[in-house]
A = this chain, B = another copy of it.
Amino acid sequence: MQTFDKAALEAMNSRYRVNFINCLSGYKSLNLVGTINAQGQTNLAPFSSVIHLGADPALVGMICRPPSETEAGNNGSGRHTLDNLIATGWYTLNHVSAEMVESAHQCSARYPAGISEFDASGLTPEFSGECPAPFVAESRLRMAVHYREHHELLINGTTLIIGEIMSVTLPDDVLRESGYIDLDQAGTLSCTGLDSYHTGQRLLRLAYAKPDQAPRQIPEDS
């Protein structure tokens, strides 16, 4: 084992430090966020910061980096995303699977205004229901999200965006009896750091923990 103290962390060169710190939170969710502006221009950006906030109402959060941020990956069109979802009130979240990971990563490139990441990456926009924002047709698990509010985090210029999940589309064979969704089977990827993509493999599922009971496994398909 080795330990990096505050001085050692500060002594890292900028690029090394960005890679290092980005890995520390652990595995990250991976979603393509689809939006559209008032002129009908679509936008698609990978986000690795989508988190569950609550089930009732069904709220998700995500972090949008400041426009000056120069970190690679997962932030290419962050501000377009923020502007669009505030303007229209809607965005989509689309899980990324292996077949589409290179196209998803390419959406983090800094394309000029006026070029849609859908066109640049070859991913297919799909429109459905009341949500004006585009879904990614190639994605196996996708959601329409209604923008609710955002919070500027002045500590580092990032923005927490909160939205409510309004619809969910997923494959027939990944939903279990308890409501659990088998993301391994759905092919959903996670990511670590700035550039690494991972499949998941279930180790076990554990029953609701109680003080007077030892941990016990529950069936994988429950």
- B30, A26: Cβ atoms closer than 8 Å: yes
A173-222 residues with Cβ-Cβ distance < 8 A to B are 175, 178-181, 183-184, 188-190, 192-211, 213-215, 218
How many of chain A's residues have a CB under 8 angstroms from any CB in B?
118
Among B23, B26, B103, B155, point to the contact of A190 (Cβ < 8 A): B26
- B102, A170: Cβ atoms closer than 8 Å: no
- B1, A170: Cβ atoms closer than 8 Å: yes
- B52, A22: Cβ atoms closer than 8 Å: yes
Complex Cα–Cα for A24 and B17 (A):
30
B-facing mask of A88-132, CB < 8 A → 1, else 0? 000001010010011101111111100100001000000011000
How many subunits of this chain does the assembly comprise? 2
Complex Cα–Cα for A182 and B98 (A):
19
Minimum CB distance partner of A112 in chain B: B211
Give the B-binding residues of A (Cβ under 8 A).
Answer: 1-6, 9, 12, 14-31, 48-61, 63, 65, 71-73, 76, 93, 95, 98, 101-103, 105-112, 115, 120, 128-129, 140-141, 143, 148-149, 151, 153, 155-156, 158, 160, 162, 165-172, 175, 178-181, 183-184, 188-190, 192-211, 213-215, 218
